[in-house]
Amino acid sequence: MNSAIPPMLYRRLGRTGLEVSAISLGSWATFGECVDDDTTAAVLDLAYARGVNLFDCAETYARGAAEAALGRAFRRLGWPRETFLVSGKVFWGVHGRRPNTWGLSRKHVFEGCDATLRRLGLDYLDLFFCHRYDENVPLVETVRAMSDLVRQGKILHWGTSEWSTFQIREACRIARADGFVPPQVEQVQYNFLTRDKVEGEMRELKADVGIGLAVWSPLAYGLFAGRYDDGEPQNGRLDLRKYAWLREAALGSEEADVLQRVRAVNALAREIGTTPSRMALAWVLRNPDVDTAITGASSPNQLRDTLGALAIVERIDDGLSQRIEVALGRTGGAPERSNAIRELAAPPDVLQQ
């Protein structure tokens, strides 16, 4: 494998003024739980050196421990705050399902933001996402709370994650009508298995209201990194007992069939002389609607491999895309089989994504 890493590309995040690296780095199921502090710092150091400028986290990741680990790494690495972006997400909290400790009430949004800033050791977040939609809280309360955080300078922009386009449009409408700051970015899953929302309704929304798109799990949790290609998966997060729910969401009851298709796609990547993670990420980045793809890495070597995607984005032409569709068994416009988004909306005590 060629270890040379091409220069980073930067894209404007929706209609914000932010320039964001096309590849950004997340901290779910890695920092603060599966990866120690030295490795965390090494992964971040490599990312930053290669131009990654957005680091994504959430209060729920390892129940706050991921934010704390990121905070320790930021202090250790000592980067000027002006040179990187940090995003947080509020919804599930860190105290389980007690009244007021989770969701999108003004109380939890304010307290969640303060706790996140404390754990990260930062004065402000560049982006703050509502991690899911809260059916129990009036939308106007959430929009007002997020808007107030912007005005207080605790966050620079706010966004949504896995909200329907109807919910996002409603939030924009309320903001316009009442003079609040509107959401500007949606964080949504996008990979070979889960793609219909990004390629369908989000596209229209992006054209209409200019919403930015930060997409997550471009490698489908490592499936398209070849992580699970050799017989039974080993040591990846899908093998961990605590992530049994994720394995179910990612592979469902047709596990053998999905893995067979995943392996066919990964074999195609090797056949064209690249690595699975590079082809998977390049396929995501070839979509001009994607402002940034948030990947994960549990070692510098993984990230080094994945960053090579930048060099092959142009190779994802119609011919290769068609071969990928065949390997995925998606010819004839078959809909995606993944139910990951629905599954990921499971209750907080089940879920730590």
Q: Contacting ligand NAP (CB under 6 A), which of 104, 115, 146, 225?
A: 225
CB closer to ligand NAP out of 175 and 186: 186
Is residue 112 within 8 A of residue 79, CB to CB? The reply is no
Name which position in 53, 142, 274, 277 contacts ligand NAP (CB under 6 A). 277
Question: For residue 130, what are the CA distances in angstroms to 60, 244, 274, 348, 352?
Answer: 12, 25, 36, 14, 15
Whole-angstrom distance between the N-terminal and C-terminal Cα of the chain?
31
Sites for ligand NAP among residues 118-137 (CB under 6 A) = 131
Closer of 59 and 305 to ligand NAP (Cβ): 305
The residues near 312 (Cβ < 8 Å, ≥ 6 apart) are 274, 278, 279, 282
Which residue, 147 or 161, has its beta carbon nearer to ligand NAP?
Answer: 161
Nearest-approach distance from CB 55 to ligand NAP, in angstroms:
9
Q: Can you tell me whether residue 182 is helix, strand or coil?
A: coil
Give, as ranges, the residues between 183 and 202 that touch ligand NAP (CB under 6 A).
187
Interface with ligand NAP in residues 155-174 (CB under 6 A): 161-162
Using the rule CB under 6 A, is 353 a contact of ligand NAP?
yes
Beta-bridged to residue 188, according to DSSP, are: 215
Q: Helix, strand or coil for residue 10? A: strand
Among 158, 163, 192, 221, binds ligand NAP (CB under 6 A): 221
140 SS3 class: helix
Phi, psi (rounded to 5 degrees) for 135 = -65, -20
Q: Which one from 10, 48, 61, 221 is the annotated catalytic residue? A: 61
Q: Give the nearer residue to ligand NAP in terms of CB position, either 264 or 322.
A: 264
Q: Residues 60, 295, 338, 352: which binds ligand NAP (CB under 6 A)?
A: 295
Nearer to ligand NAP, 238 or 327 (CB): 238
Closest CA to 227 of 30, 55, 56: 30
- In terms of CB distance, is 174 or 281 closer to ligand NAP? 281
Other CB atoms within 10 Å distance of the CB of residue 63: 18
Q: Is 61 a catalytic residue?
A: yes
- Single residue of 222, 269, 313, 320 touching ligand NAP by CB under 6 A: 222
Residue number with CB closer to ligand NAP (74 or 151): 74
Which of 296, 312, 328, 352 lies at the binding interface for ligand NAP (CB under 6 A)?
A: 296
Inter-residue contact 338 to 194 (CB < 8 Å): yes
Look at strands 19-21 and 10-12 and give their pairing: antiparallel
- Please list the residues that pair with 109 across neighbouring strands: none
* Helix residue ranges per DSSP H, the chain: 37-49, 65-77, 106-120, 139-152, 165-178, 196-199, 201-209, 244-251, 255-271, 276-285, 300-307, 318-328, 340-344
Residue number with the smallest Cβ distance to ligand NAP:
26
Quote the least distance from Cβ 179 to ligand NAP, whole Å: 28
Q: Which of residues 25-44 bind ligand NAP (CB under 6 A)?
A: 26-28, 30
Q: Which of 46, 53, 56, 193 binds ligand NAP (CB under 6 A)?
A: 56
Of the candidate residues 23, 258, 294, 320, the single one contacting ligand NAP (CB under 6 A): 294
Using CB under 6 A as the binding rule, whether residue 219 contacts ligand NAP is answered as yes
Residue 7 CB, nearest approach to ligand NAP (Å): 19
CB-count burial class (<10 Å; 0-12, 13-18, 19+) for 151:
exposed
Residues marked active site are found at 61
Q: Which residues bind ligand NAP (CB under 6 A)?
A: 26-28, 30, 56, 131, 161-162, 187, 216-222, 225-227, 236-237, 277, 294-298, 302, 305-306, 353
